[in-house]
Amino acid sequence: MTKLNQLRFETRAIHAGQEPDPLTGAVVTPIVHASTFVQDGIGKNRGYLYARSANPTRLTVERCLADLEGAEMAFAFPTGLSAAATILEALDAGAHIVAHDDLYGGIYRLLNDVRPRSAGHKVTLVDFTDVDAVAAAVDDKTDLLWFETPSNPTLGIVDIAKIAQIAKGCRAISVCDNTFASPYLQRPIELGIDVVMHSATKFLSGHSDLLAGVVAVSATAPDGLCERIKLMQNATGAVLSAPDSSLLLRSIKTLPVRMDRHCQNASQIAEHLRENMDAYGLATVRYPGLPDNPGHAIAAKQMSGFGAIITLNVLGGLNRVEQVLKHCDLFHFAVSLGGVESLIQHPASLTHKTVPKDKRDAAGVTDDLIRLSVGIEDAGDLIADLQRAFHPV
């Protein structure tokens, strides 16, 4: 049998953690709906007791994800936010968290509105693209560092290896939200991060038909963290169902081909918009692959492709933003990202609505900002759609 860890990512995306079903020979992991499993005697079973603790279909996708992220173990959750909440549940009351000031709105709400009230967590927000600012914000009482890169929606690029070093220096747990890149483009654990989380609703699932979340824990994470997260998942009951685990497992098999096409399309569109900013009436075009984009050199160092997300600052205020959203056809006006179909959305009124306006503006999530999630359709058709919507002169 081929040693899996000698195989390339594309092969492991299809095979890691999976064997043909020993009972039937089915080449696809069966969906085991059972919530409970027969016990062979007291303390004796065939690996399963009750599906909240472990389910064979979920375990298969968890093993596959652990392999792809280079983690010791991975856990599959019903949403990205329940994955995030379970990581925070593993901290003690009163813990000090230093977090990126440019985070997905739902994580911001969890960190700033929910956990301080329910667990007395103290949260310091800082710009993680400024490594010196992060080093100045931590001390020996800091318990956890939390960031995402590229960040949602402004595509800030954080130097993952440097943040991992800062976390190790103050013995804090480091958490990287890897949703925008996926393990195909970026593997933070290989760069020294303790915990990777995903909204698997996005690229990992890839078809806008599934809500899911992932936590992957490094073998070098602080002692006991892996077991603690496992315990917290079981204690809070936040587990991905067997049918959804099967859907996620199937989606991951095409992650590399989808991501290659996402990246090709997005860079073609970003370059086109960047070259025609005046005609499109744009103040800025942000895409980590553009050579003049802030953080481009760091992105090139730690990512093998620049992803599918482009953000634009549109000239002409909110009225023009609304006109553009209305006139897109192939780009559907909808929240979320990472699906095979292209989406366009307005973070200030949707995904980041829960962030107070002054904080939003300070983080660059201004009213004139539009976010594109570039799908895997034909790039020429997508450009024609944007041309129609922006009415370039």
Q: Interface with ligand PLP by CB under 6 A: which residues?
A: 79-81, 104, 106-107, 148, 152, 177, 179, 199, 201, 211, 213
Alpha helices in 47-121 (DSSP H): 56-69, 80-89, 105-109, 115-119
Nearer to ligand PLP, 48 or 333 (CB): 333
CA distance 305 to 186: 8
Residue 307 CB, shortest distance to ligand PLP, in Å, is 12
CB of 60 to ligand PLP, least distance (A): 20
62 by Cβ neighbours in 10 Å (0-12 / 13-18 / 19+) ranks as buried
360 an active-site residue? Answer: no
Task: Tell the burial category of 52 from Cβ atoms under 10 Å away from its Cβ (0-12, 13-18, 19+).
Answer: middle
Cis omega (within 30 of 0) for bond into 153: yes
Is the Cβ of residue 79 or residue 268 nearer to ligand PLP in the bound state? 79
- Between 369 and 379, whose beta carbon lies closer to ligand PLP? 369
Distance CA 154, CA 151 (A): 6
Among 159, 177, 194, 385, the active-site one is 177
357 is catalytic: no
Nearer to ligand PLP, 103 or 172 (CB): 103
Minimum CB–partner distance for residue 136 and ligand PLP (Å): 25
Q: What angle do CA 32, 199, 13 make, to 5 degrees?
A: 60
Helices (H) and strands (E) in the chain, counts: 16, 12
Residue nearest to ligand PLP (CB): 80
Residue closer to ligand PLP (CB basis): 110 or 263? 110
Among the listed residues 104, 108, 280, 287, the single catalytic one is 104
Reply yes or no on whether 115 is catalytic. no
The answer to whether 52 is a known catalytic residue is yes
**Distance in angstroms (rounded) separating the CA atoms of residues 55 and 37:** 9
Least Å from the CB of residue 99 to ligand PLP: 12
CB of 204 to ligand PLP, least distance (A): 10
Look at residue 62 and give its three-state secondary structure.
helix
Of the residues 187, 202, 286, 371, only one is catalytic, namely: 202
As annotated, the active-site residues are: 52, 104, 177, 202
